Amino acid sequence: MPRFSWVIGEAGAPLAGAARERGWRVEPLGLARAALLARRHDLIHAHDARSHTLGAVVGGAPLVVARRVAFPVGSRWKYTRARHYLAVSEFVKRVLMAGGVPEGKISVVYDGVPVLEPSAGTHVLALANFDDAQKGAPVAMEAARLAGVELLLTRNLERDLPQAASFVYITHAEGLGSAALLAMSAGVPVIASRVGGLPEVVRDRETGLLVENAPAAVAGAILELAGDPEFARRLGQAARRWVIENFTVDQMVRRTMEVYRKVLS
């Protein structure tokens, strides 16, 4: 079995902090140390572009790369170096294939989220992601104005979900949509952009509402949920079941381990 005992990363990165809390050894991201450790361990798993580049350069153990973003493949050379890719959605898998990665080297492993207690809030909630040009906080704000409702903006979604009656997730590019999944785990009906991997998470009018990135369309969805509490309740309950069946942390770990075993066999 592989030894999962080391994390090489940015000192202040969330992954490094979470690993330290669990008693794992964490070292700063660097070429020389990574090259040494790559020859002492069974597998390298890269989670971002920089670590992908580092793993491609140092060689040694087989390289597995998690790909979560929606934008096209850049360096063709780098993308020939990994033994296998974990695509966060079927959409991202197609992006990888369009960039020249063979289908046989890609496995779809969906994000997993904690299953939260059901929400009983009354607010329309959206992410305060103004610093990300790919996200759509301004669209959500204008939609709320058109709908005549107050929009609660959050930078800590898990903390604020108990206040939510609905969650508006507008984005211009999306690999999957883990924020939408987290809201769905709490039974909060989600209004989401019809882009990227989001339609794999939010099934329109079954586990949420998909909309175009236009304030009027988003406003219409907000008003529909507010005006039909029974429909909103059914959507939220179906969304929570959908997450429990397909998008838990345990399922993500199990599928990732299956890929590890495949790579190392």
Q: Check which CATH number belongs to the domain holding 229 and give it.
A: 3.40.50.2000
In whole numbers, what is the pLDDT of the chain averaged over residues? 91
Burial class (CB in 10 A: 0-12, 13-18, 19+), 10: middle
pTM (two decimals): 0.88
**Residue from 30, 41, 43, 31 nearest 83 by CA:** 43
* Alpha carbons 223 and 220: distance in angstroms, whole number: 5
> Looking at residue 149, what is its pLDDT?
97
Higher pLDDT, 30 or 91: 91
Residues 104 and 127 in one domain: no
Q: Is residue 1 over pLDDT 50?
A: no
pLDDT band at 2 (very low <50, low <70, confident <90, very high): very low
**Helix ranges, 178-248 (H):** 178-185, 198-201, 215-227, 229-246
The per-residue pLDDT for range 121-179, each reduced to its tens digit, is: 999 999 998 777 677 899 999 999 999 999 999 999 999 999 999 999 999 999 999 99
103 CA to centre of own chain? 21
Residue with tokens 């988003």, as numbered in its chain: 218
Residues 93-115 have a mean pLDDT of 97
Residue 155 lies in a domain: yes
Average pLDDT over residues 199-217: 97
Cα separation, 148 vs 142, whole angstroms:
10
Range of the domain at 13: 6-110+249-264
Q: Is residue 118 part of a domain?
A: no
- What was the pLDDT predicted at 60? 79
Task: Tell whether 254 and 240 lie within a shared domain.
Answer: no
Q: How many domains, in total, are found in the chain?
A: 2
| Residue 164, pLDDT score | 98
